[in-house]
Amino acid sequence: MRQLLVNIDHVATLRNARGEHVPDPVRAAEVAENAGAAGIVFHLREDRRHIRDDDVLRLREVVRGIFDFEMAPSDEMITICSRMKADYATLVPENREELTTEGGLDMKRVKEDFRSRVFPPLKEAGVGISLFIDPVPEDIAIAAELGAEAVELHTGTYANATDPQTSRLELERLRDAAVQVHSLGMRVNAGHGLNFENIHPFLDQVPHLQDISIGHALIADALFRGLENTVRHMADIIAG
């Protein structure tokens, strides 16, 4: 079943801009779930630039659906995520200077480290592991070999394409990748850069999708429509 997970990082960004307590990302999570989101995603970064440790604790209290903890594969995050008993740890590469996550994991490079250091404690804690990966067959094969529960396909290149040909090619890569992830028995998730326009061709052409994670476009739209209306609209589009 296709469903929307709402990333609330940007609510925290706005709050932190003034060093105040509002808007509260936890309240946003409650509104999003009440409006049809199947769960909440947040990225606790090393520099705590948006979501903070206290937010994670409060989110754990209120989130009723999927609790998806996006994180760098650092020892610190593995410890926090395991303690929180997240439904999923979505593992992403994290660079200090980046404005947002810039691409998928290079699975060939991280494979042995993930096998020995990252996967065992998360599995031991019962946390499902989702790997944020570009639509590259070799990387997807490694995700399956390691025993990941899910692959989150990086849709950023598709979303940022400025010409129809690139957009079409990227959709084909995403479609093939989704077929491969599904055939290997993993959950097919997706996210990054999706919005009310580019979501339609994406849903039309990419099969087997389950959790679709969207942040920036929803929070931006919510300024004008209200978060409840925004989330309800996108949740309906995704459910089909």
User: In the range 130-189, which residues lie near ligand PXP by CB under 6 A?
Assistant: 132, 152
Q: Does 43 bind ligand PXP (CB under 6 A)?
A: yes
- Sign of the alpha-carbon torsion through 102, 12, 215, 185: positive
95: tokens are 């660079």
3-state SS class at 150: strand
Closest CA to 118 of 91, 145, 85, 83: 91
**Least distance to ligand PXP from the beta carbon of 57, Å?**
20
Query: CB–CB of 93/102 below 8 Å?
Result: yes
Burial 129-158 (b: 16+ CB within 10 A, else e): bbbbbbbbeebbebbbebebbbbbbbbbbb
Q: Does 95 bind ligand PXP (CB under 6 A)?
A: no
**Least distance to ligand PXP from the beta carbon of 93, Å?**
9
CA gyration radius for the chain?
Answer: 17
**Least distance to ligand PXP from the beta carbon of 150, Å?**
11
Q: Does 73 bind ligand PXP (CB under 6 A)?
A: no
43 is catalytic: yes
192 is catalytic: yes
Closer residue to ligand PXP in complex, CB, 17/124: 17
Site string for ligand PXP, 3-32 (x = CB under 6 A): ----x-x-----------------------
**Least distance to ligand PXP from the beta carbon of 5, Å?**
8
98 is catalytic: no
Q: How far is CA 182 from the centre of its chain?
A: 18
Q: Does 100 bind ligand PXP (CB under 6 A)?
A: yes
Query: CB–CB of 208/188 below 8 Å?
Result: yes
> Quick count: other Cβ atoms within 10 Å of Cβ 175?
17
User: In the range 180-239, which residues lie near ligand PXP by CB under 6 A?
Assistant: 191-194, 213-217
**Least distance to ligand PXP from the beta carbon of 90, Å?**
6
Catalytic residues: 43, 70, 192
Interface positions with ligand PXP (CB under 6 A): 7, 9, 43, 70, 90, 92, 100-101, 132, 152, 191-194, 213-217
